[in-house]
Amino acid sequence: MKLDSTQFAVLSSGSTRPFPLTALVGDTVDLGNDGYPGAYAILLTGRDSVRFNYTNSPFDQHIYIPLELPTGRATYRLRFNGVPGQFSDSYVHSHTDQDEFAIPEVYELANILWLLSEHGKQNASLPRSGLYYQQVITHFKPFLNHPVFVSINQLADTYANYYDFRENSYAYHFEHDKLMWTGPHYYVTGPDWETFNSLFRQLAPQIEDFAKKSGYRAFYQRQRPIYQQLIVQERKLMPVRKMWTWLEARFPQRFSCYRIVFSPLIGGSHSTQQYARYIQGKLYREAVMFINSPTAYTTRSDLTFPKQQGLASGVVFTEIDHNYVNPTTSRFKKSVDSIFVNRSVWTQTGGDTEDYCSPQAVFNEYMTHALFCLYIKDQYDTKTAAYVVEQRIKLMVEHRHYIRFAEFMQKLSELYSLLKPSEPMANLYPALLDWAKQVK
């Protein structure tokens, strides 16, 4: 393209005004934006304009455009970044300000496959009782010799691969008997953030064949009343909107949508992932959380409903609040690292503390769970709150081996009681870390 000067501009879809650029002879100017359905960029030279569309979803797309300057040549590299969440305008509009609960069809298939595999049999945390579990075993037992199980057992040989296989199934849906990988979510977790080649994607042809031969889609449809009942229970036991509001009154971060994805076949292995897209100068942020079903709480006849809700809320709250705590902690990285590097003061082996390798990760586990206790005290009556907090302390100290949790939570509670309603939670960090520095 011919330029009358060294100046040109690019107007990206989702932006309200062009971005000015300067090209020097011999240089390659690089500017881009995230790709999404319908994304484009318009190159403006002052005399001409050319539109370039994003056509390589969900991957990177680079377009090299020669620029003819008054005194020589340059190149503009237009870059569309491949991102794992490709959100159209209509998707953003329909999901903004929503909290959503679902047991997706392909996600449940992944959980069934893992449960029936040798690795699933070795996972002590997976549920192994109840009517639904028995229906799964009865229906799929005749198909346990399918080749997909050999492949799962060969590939999924680590706990990290459990998440890789399970969570990345969320990127798929069925069209008739075909597994489709067409977004809007393409990748959740794993080591490949360039080609999004998950374990589930690698095994998709075999999984599709298993689903067809075992009659999985018909099985899923028959179980829909159970799934719908669980979704209703999960929504009641985990009031996400209330947690969301409480957290954003105390932290500056803002989210647009929370999606709760769960299965009756998940034990205590939870995870979360974030996605985002700028649209008309505003940031749409979505958090997807993968958690267990409410059955562990609804079957507890010894608990009042507020206690059931308080206990169940801990599952999702301590996933949600990482979205607020982690960025705040990063502002105090130097201090946190110098204190929580002394792991023997704060953790013991035998729980899950080894999974949290950095000082910040250890601190964030303390902080997110202590923050949950503050939320419980704010939202529930004294008797219910005392019970839920006591159970959280037992979980953290006796099961997970965060050995100073009771003291940490008490100190945070004391500081929180002095916080003004308009003050952010970050204002407590200096005093909390000064206290932690003295713990031996």
Residue 71: DSSP 8-state: T
Counting DSSP H helices and E strands in the chain, the numbers are 19, 13
The residues with which 40 forms a beta bridge, in sequence order, are 53
pTM of structure: 0.91
Q: What is the pLDDT of residues 329-340, one digit of tens each?
A: 999 999 999 999
Residue 339 Cα distances to 107, 332, 333, 334, 352, angstroms: 40, 11, 10, 9, 20
The residue whose two tokens read 């080609």 is: 195
Strand ranges inside 87-238, DSSP E: 98-102, 173-175, 178-180
Structure letter (DSSP) for residue 38: T
Tell me, letter by letter, the H, E, C secondary structure of 152-190. Answer: HHHHCCCHHHHHHHHHHHHHCEEECCEEECCCCECCCCC
Percentage with pLDDT > 70 across the chain: 100
Distance CA 55, CA 39 (A): 8
Compute the average pLDDT of residues 95-110: 98
Residue 248: how many CA atoms within 13 Å on its side-chain side?
12
d(C-alpha 109, C-alpha 131), whole Å? 17
Q: Is the pLDDT of residue 16 over 90?
A: no
CA angle 91, 93, 97 (to 5 degrees): 110
Bridge pairing between strands 173-175 and 49-53: unpaired
**pLDDT for res 306:** 97
Specify whether the CB–CB gap between 316 and 243 falls below 8 A.
yes
Q: Specify whether the CB–CB gap between 169 and 210 falls below 8 A.
A: no
Give residue 428's identity as a one-letter amino acid code. L
In angstroms, the CA 185 to CA 169 distance is 10
Q: Report d(CA 318, CA 369) in Å as an integer.
A: 6
**Average pLDDT of span 392-417:** 98
349 CB-near residues (< 8 Å, 6+ apart): 401
Judged by DSSP in three states, 276 sits in: strand
- Count the neighbouring beta carbons within 10 Å of the beta carbon of residue 217: 15
Phi, psi of 318 (to 5 degrees): -75, -5
Residue 158's pLDDT band (cuts 50, 70, 90)? confident
Token pair recorded at residue 166: 């399970």
Mean pLDDT for 374-392 is 98
Q: Which residues contact 385 (CB under 8 A, 6 or more apart)?
A: 310, 376, 377, 379
What pLDDT is attached to residue 324?
96
* C-alpha to C-alpha distances, 148 to 52, 207, 210, 220, nearest whole angstrom: 42, 6, 7, 19
Residue 143 confidence (pLDDT) above 80: yes
CB atoms within 10 A of CB 382: 8
- Taking residues 22-33, what's their average pLDDT? 95
